Amino acid sequence: MPTLRPPSTTLETVVFVFFAALAVLGAFGTILSRNPIRAAVGLFVHIVALAALYLNLGAHFLGVIQLLVYAGAVVVLFVFVIMLLGPAANSPKDGRGIGSRGAALIGVAGIAAGLISTLQYVRLPLPERTDSFGTMNVVGSFLFKQGVIPFEMIGVTLVIAVVGAFAIARGKHERRALTDPDPTAPEKLAEGPEPDAKSAKKTAAKQSAEGHS
């Protein structure tokens, strides 16, 4: 049965055990810590350990992508969101009841049962692993030779996403002075984020400062 090759050398085994343990610890840290920042750090540890496992398996490209995308982008995004929300995000009472814990436990058990039974009964037609599988070289040559058409087309997909986002975002600020011909448009949308209130506050602050001096 073509499955993943077991680690062949002692060094690979040692590396596997170390990073597998680290990944499990990181995962526990993510779900058990009450401080969202600590949870994010736990997730980071978990992701880096997974990347190391990929490298250990010889999937260099996947390992690097794991680091770049998950550790570099996703975790940073999480941390940004947590920082932006501030103390509001730290509400320990949410989701700590018996009901939600039980539901989580049932969900985890279900997924575990599904995974185990899948591994037991379903054999996907996986190709035999070769030594060059998943290395930078092979992935790069696939992307730029056989896969050049979808690769280039994804470039256009990204461009159209950026242009589309720009088209929608730019229209918001520009030409606000023009009256909108659509009678259904509420006035709120046509205005900015309450510039009057801000300037009023500023002038008030200025006045109070002047009053003190």
**Interface with other proteins includes 80 (CB under 8 A)?**
no
43 and 26 Cβ atoms separated by less than 8 Å: yes
51 and 96 Cβ atoms separated by less than 8 Å: no
The whole-angstrom separation of Cα 16 and Cα 48 is: 13
Stretch 137-196 residues interacting with other proteins (CB under 8 A): 141, 145-150, 153-154, 156-157, 159-161, 163-168, 170-172, 175-176, 178, 180-182, 184-186, 189-190
CB of 177 vs other proteins, minimal distance in Å: 11
CB closer to other proteins, 187 vs 210: 187
CB of 114 vs other proteins, minimal distance in Å: 14
**Interface with other proteins includes 35 (CB under 8 A)?**
no
29 and 41 Cβ atoms separated by less than 8 Å: yes
Total residues at interface with other proteins (CB under 8 A): 43
The whole-angstrom separation of Cα 86 and Cα 36 is: 10
The whole-angstrom separation of Cα 142 and Cα 192 is: 49
**Interface with other proteins includes 123 (CB under 8 A)?**
yes
Within a 13 Å sphere around the CA of 71, how many CA atoms are in the beta-carbon half?
Answer: 18
CB closer to other proteins, 97 vs 171: 171
Structure tokens belonging to residue 136: 């930078």
Sign of CA dihedral 10, 13, 14, 15: positive
**List of residues contacting other proteins (CB under 8 A):** 1-2, 121-127, 141, 145-150, 153-154, 156-157, 159-161, 163-168, 170-172, 175-176, 178, 180-182, 184-186, 189-190
